[in-house]
Structure 1
Amino acid sequence: MFNYQDTLHKLNDLLPLSEKLNFVHGVLRDRFDYIDRIAVTLYDEKTDTLKTFIQSSDGENPMQQYEAKLSEVPLLQEIINQGRPRVVNNLLSIGGTGKLHTQRLVEKGYASSYTMPMSINGSFFGFIFFNSFMEEVLDEEVLHYLDLIGHLISLTVINDLTNIRTLLAAVKTARDMTHQRDLETGTHLDRMAHYSRLIATEIAKERGLSDEFIENVYLFSPLHDIGKIGIPDKILLKPGKLDEEEFEVMKSHAVKGREIIDTMLQEFGLDGLDHIDILRNIAAYHHEAVNGSGYPEGLKDQEIPLESKIIAVADIFDALTSSRPYKEAWDNEVAFNTLRELAGKQLDASCVEALLSNHEKISEIQDKFGEDRFG
């Protein structure tokens, strides 16, 4: 009676999305062994950016840490406009119209491609790509199965991202109710998230970071100061410098942040979220310093999680270059010099260098997410 095993049983397990994708790919290849790659990209509507997320293949990933403006990729735009997937049984046939991402696939030997758009509540949020090293293999039978697998992958991704967005929305509501918005505007959190992604992408090759890790750092970075919800307004909103006793209370926000996140995860039933320790580490350790002078635990260098080091650089840079009731915004060059002085002492040197080597992208982020008088 119980001799049969559900083919897709592992999707019920608490596994990272990348492992679930690898599992689904294995099931698909049992029937169509020439489907050599599955990849998922996500779309950021605020910046019109497509970015690589997770992929499964036997060989090297041709598109790691890749992003592009959707408006600059007409073939992918057309998929959205048509509301239908795209079948290409010979990638060479579309020549240079696919731009860099198609060129990379062809260079790695991929010959055919099936591209499905993903939507949630009618809104586009990314693509799924199925690729093969063989030409002319995407017939009606294969496409029927790819449709089923594609929608299964889409629902799995939606489920995970929806959980994260639920948590983010709950935190934003709590922050607004406790006046945290007065110190950290929405644009500050947008800039921080994009600075964090920029740093993580820049050091990805050196540190062996996956696109999934980078995306989670980007998504979780706005939660870094959630612990300030538990700080009294007379300290949190004080316009001048805190005295020693007040600063000790302020420092407790790092521990409070970890506690709040653990409570929220439990209350929302989200304990099994992928890479949840990234979120915990961001909240708890973003004020640690590589020389051991930080808080709450006085961790040193390698003891500090990488995601916390990334957030620290992004947070300090945006704090320096933003206006506050008690200070004017610093010029970028002045802030850059300050970061250089802090590198290797308070901040991770490679994370600082990663940010400083991207002046043009920093300016783009600041232009896109600048503050007005309403924050």
Structure 2
Amino acid sequence: MLKTSERDKSNFQAYKVHITTIIILIFIALLAILMLVFINLHIEREYRNLFYIEIGLVILILVSLIILLVNVYKKLFLPLIELYKGMKGIGLIDDISPNLNSDKLMPAFFEVERIFNKLNSLILLIENLSRNVPFKYILNYIFDSFIEYIPYTYIGIALIDDNGKSIKASYGISGKYHKNLSERLLGFKVHINGTSLGKIIEAGEERIINDLEEYVKGKPLKEYNRILLEEGIKSSITFPLKNDKEVVGIIFFSSNAKNVYKKEHISFLKTLANSIMLSLEEDILIDDLIISSTLALAMLTEERDLETGDHLNRMKTYSKVIAELLSRENEFKDIIDIEYINNIEKFSPLHDIGKVAIRDDILLKPGKLSQEEFEIMKTHAVYGAKVLKMADENLKKKGRSVFNLGIEIAEGHHEKWDGSGYPYGKKGEEIPLSARIVAVADVFDALTSKRPYKRAFTFEESIEIIIDGSGKQFDPNIVNVFVENIQMIKDIYEQFQMKD
């Protein structure tokens, strides 16, 4: 519901003064007529012609005031009330309040400015969609622009994953009320059949929960509901996100207050949900096309070296897990969010894309490289970054930038913490965090994999080599987190061993 501002109240009082003044003037005119009639009974005949002129003027003023009052009502109040009703019909406002005497509901003419502000926000949203603005900026714009009109304090998006078997919290944005909610929820994945969201996906219809505490009472408390309650979520309205063919996810508009969502909110929130779906679909489609095309180039290197097998898939899994583990650490939690983790997963397989420029006799040599050959091999880091920079420059001309993290990884994954790496001899935190993460994942998978020039080291041997490289080749903070979660790493390693 739109709130009455101090300026609205002031304007309202001004309108009331004007209308009241007109009514008082009409009342005074009527009194004047009565007085003149009374006086007429007591004045001499020779003054009566003057009296009739006076009473005629008073009646004319009275009629003019009545016409003015009627016109004000017809030309101002009626159109505004009709506009107000029309806005309600398309979901721009929640309720109509044509009663000028109501102290509880804002009169129609006071909401007009805000209604048009709301319309202007929608127009700007449409313009942003047509300008191919990245999805995260669209989501931020929606949250900031419409929070004045719709009672939400958090917007969350969960996308269907694992070929429709599960749903994963993928995006979230909140203001001052739920600062930790996005961090705790993003990446959280559950089986669809184990949640009530399955019914929303199946039916393709919205759901309103106006009291979350009451809703979960008497039921086994799911982990995600526990997080929502702990972070202060008390009500929500949930919509399926649909493309032309199917439901691809769920969007949640949630509030820190109970009983705030009404059926009147559905129409407008559907408009926002549809806008979000358009932006999300376009963003994911474009980025996936760009990245998959580039990844196909990276796969050419793997095809040339049959011994590498599923190296790209394994090392991107390790890279993502390391990033997720680091995101829980105080030192990195402000740097690594869900978008960063997703980008690590997307771009880590591009780390060796520059090897497409390396000759087969060097790339596939079964023995140790000569010094000259090794210098040529080292150029793959610079060449890979150059290829991705050229691609990103072309994308920037279209208003997008995709490969920043990929460039960091390609250029920096052979740099070493002590400065002895290549291509630029960077050291410590001069090396981008993304490259430091991928360095550990890449070397660990290389150690545990068979190559023409070496055997596959055991899991335990590989961990010892990683530990030994801490502070020399690798970021010691990353190694510490890696080792502290060694059982998780081992579980993933064993899963890959079973597939091989």
- Name the TM tier (shorter chain): 0.7 to 0.9
Match of 1:290 in 2: 417
Q: Give the equivalent residue in structure 1 for 2:322.
A: 199
Is 1:315 equivalent to 2:315 in the alignment? no
* Superposition deviation, residue 371 in structure 1: 7.3
User: Does the alignment pair 1:74 with 2:195?
Assistant: yes
2:33 corresponds to: none
| Deviation by residue 1:160-214 (Cα, 9 ceiling, x = unmatched) | 22232112321233234453463543x3222222221221122224211222222
Q: Which moved more, 1:131-140 or 1:52-61?
A: 52-61
More deviation, 359-368/201-210:
359-368
Partner of 1:265: 392
- Write the deviation string for residues 290-320 of structure 1: whole angstroms up to 9, x where unpaired: 1101111110111111111111111111111
Residues 52 and 65, structure 1, Cα contact 8 Å, conserved in 2: no
Matched, 1:256 2:383: yes
Moved more, 122-131 or 282-291: 122-131
SS in 1 for 2:196: helix
Contact residue 39 and residue 128 of structure 1 kept, 8 A: yes
Residue 359 of structure 1: aligned partner: 486
Shift of 1:19: 3.7
| More displaced 10-residue stretch of structure 1: 112-121 or 332-341 | 112-121
Task: Identify which of structures 1 and 2 has the higher relative contact order when contacts are C-alpha pairs closer than 8 Å and 6+ apart.
Answer: 1
Structure-2 residue corresponding to 1:158? 281
8 A Cα contact 1:221 1:282, kept in partner: yes
Q: For residue 355 of structure 1, report the CA deviation from its aligned partner.
A: 2.0
The structure-2 alpha-carbon separation of the partners of 1:355 and 1:158, relative to structure 1 and needing over 3 Å to count, comes to farther
Question: 1:235–1:242: 8 Å Cα contact kept in structure 2?
Answer: yes
The percentage of aligned residue pairs carrying the same residue is: 33
Aligned residue runs from structure 1 range 5-44, under 5 A: 6-8=123-125, 9-10=127-128, 17-32=135-150, 34-44=151-161
Of 67, 80, 101 in structure 1, the residue corresponding to residue 224 of structure 2 is 101
More divergent stretch after superposition (284-293 vs 266-275) = 266-275
Q: Which runs of 5+ in 2 are unaligned?
A: 1-119
CA distance in 1, matches of 2:372, 2:134: 42
- Greater share of helix residues, 1 or 2? 2
- Counterpart amino acid of residue 278 in structure 2: L
User: Using a 3 Å threshold, how does the CA distance of structure 1 residues 370 and 197 change in structure 2: closer, same or farther?
Assistant: same
1:221 aligns with 2:353: no
Of structures 1 and 2, the larger Rg is shown by 2
Relative to 1, partners in 2 of residues 1:202 and 1:28: Cα closer, same or farther, differing over 3 Å? Answer: same
SS at match of 2:415: coil
Alignment of 1:138 with 2:229, yes or no, is no
Report how many residues are paired.
368
The answer as to 2:184 corresponding to 1:57 is no
Matched, 1:345 2:468: no
Equivalent in the alignment of 2:6: none
Q: How do residues 228-247 of structure 1 correspond to structure 2 at under 5 angstroms?
A: 228-247=355-374
Cα separation, partners in 2 of 1:278 and 1:213, compared to 1, 3 Å: same
Shift of 1:277: 1.9
Question: Does the CA-based 8 Å contact 1:70-1:76 persist in structure 2?
Answer: no
Q: Pairwise CA RMSD of aligned residues?
A: 2.9
CA pair 102-228 structure 1, distance change in 2 beyond 3 A: same
* Paired amino acid for 2:190: L
